[in-house]
Structure 1
Amino acid sequence: MWLTHKNQTSEVTFILLGFSEYPDLQGPLFLVFLTIYTITVLGNLGMIAIIRFNPKLHTPMYFFLSHLSLVDFCYSSVVTPKLLENLIVEDRSFSFAGCLSQFFFVCVFVVTETFMLAAMAYDRFVAICNPLLYTVAMSPKLCSLLVAACYSWGLICSLTLTCFLVTLSFRGSKVIHNFVCEHAAIVAASYSDAYINQMIVLVSATFNEISSLVIILTSYMFIFITIMKMPSTGGRHKAFSTCASHLTAITIFHGTILFLYCVPTTKSSWLMVKVASVFYIVVIPMLNPLIYSLRNKDVKETVRKLIGIKL
């Protein structure tokens, strides 16, 4: 039975429709996404290089930021090259193994980013609420453990969801109304009863979203209380400025994820799902390094030094 199921799935082909319903926009969209992906690669790898280059940036906050840049680079690279390929070739087919692999890695990195942002919120909480104990509380060992926990939980969630997807039955060519192999689209293409898969992804997504937001909101509640107790206006401004970039990244990321899960996957909503998917898979990885670099004096100073050395 297992062998029969394996043979069936090996013959399955998914068709990623992407933006094929807009034939006149294929060329312009290719140029737009290629530009975004180029900025994403240069921005995130550049951020990692800058943090490693400048000893002044060897702090817990930048340690987390370097891993956030790595995660952004990875999950954009899992999806965007295939998206670019589908915009210039007529054959939009994707093998079952390729589709499942793409879903697996996207899930790993998205869940990892969810909790990486939560770990960064905790870091800001310790830095502002307990500044004298910051270097002791946020030790290199604890930072490494937090980052390892983020990656590990992302891997566990992704493995669980992917294993349950493998148990579903597929036959022939199945159409996916998106440019990425996301869970709802794969489940919709199956002949099997998808109730268990839908419940597992619902529980997993709800747990990840609520638990990460609880950490973030609790951290920022204490941060806000601490800032309001500061006697000087300058101190308050500096503290708010320290958190501004992180809050911006959190708002964009979680706002998009919540919107995506709130949109029902009906035929009329596929366009909204695609737009939201573009935003959190393609656009957000480009925005994060820009958000953190444009508002950060240390990063801008390091960039100037690097440019000066090259010149």
Structure 2
Amino acid sequence: MRIDLHTHSTASDGTDTPAELVRNAAAAGLDVVALTDHDSTRGHAEATAALADLDRDLTLVTGAELSCRLDGVGLHMLAYLFDPLEPEFLRERELVRDDRVPRARAMVGKLQALGVPITWEQVTRIAGDASLGRPHIATALVELGVVETVSDAFVPEWLATGGRAYAEKHELDPFEAIRLVKAAGGVTVFAHPQAVTRGEVVPESAVGRLAAAGLDGIEVDHMDHDAPTRARLRALADELGLLVTGSSDYHGSRKFVELGACTTDPEVYEEIARRATGARPVRGAGVRR
């Protein structure tokens, strides 16, 4: 089985619609794909409906990638198979989502003050109906020729955490995020915990604190982790009794990574599904050829 547990669609900052993501996952030979848009479940219904049109089996894991902050450092928490209508968790996700527009406006203003000819109209055109995020602003910088790729915008000179054009946003305390996801029947995995190219990361000692609070796993096999980092994180997960996942963190054409670039062991996936009580993986009706 090929299992990719971290992808994004146009419901946040990916370039594939949820339906396109499902079709592309099937075409890439995946057996299981998780849709984990930033702080949003808006793409779940469309992705689920698209399963019926496939000509091969594909299982969809519903989820989200939550924006969190610990001791002043941003981090992302993957949440899987939770009840999206659980009131307290829904209210917190809406707070994070609603803060995206004023935050994006602040970053556009900072870029303009730095002499970049970016406009709010340009950024909203790029975002369309998606929840506004830094990747949409980064795409505008690519269009303007300020940087060559979206990844090149996530540096201290521009949009990296603490960078010249960075702006804070409402983010969850990760311990509270774990509590909320658990209360909604979901499973939590710390996303790309040592992605140092993106900016400051929390110390590895924090993983132990999160594990004690109920964290289920850490995303080890990820494009932003080199081989020594993966080995170190795998040992840490083993020491703390955490699940180890791998995924592409696919964003469509916005990033140079393919679906299934990194994958999760089937036994780990089965354990995630076993622990979840808020929702179940959705298996498509396609017939494998």
Q: TM-score, normalised by structure 2?
A: 0.33
More helix, by proportion: 1
More strand, by proportion: 2
Which protein has the larger Cα radius of gyration, Structure 1 or Structure 2?
1
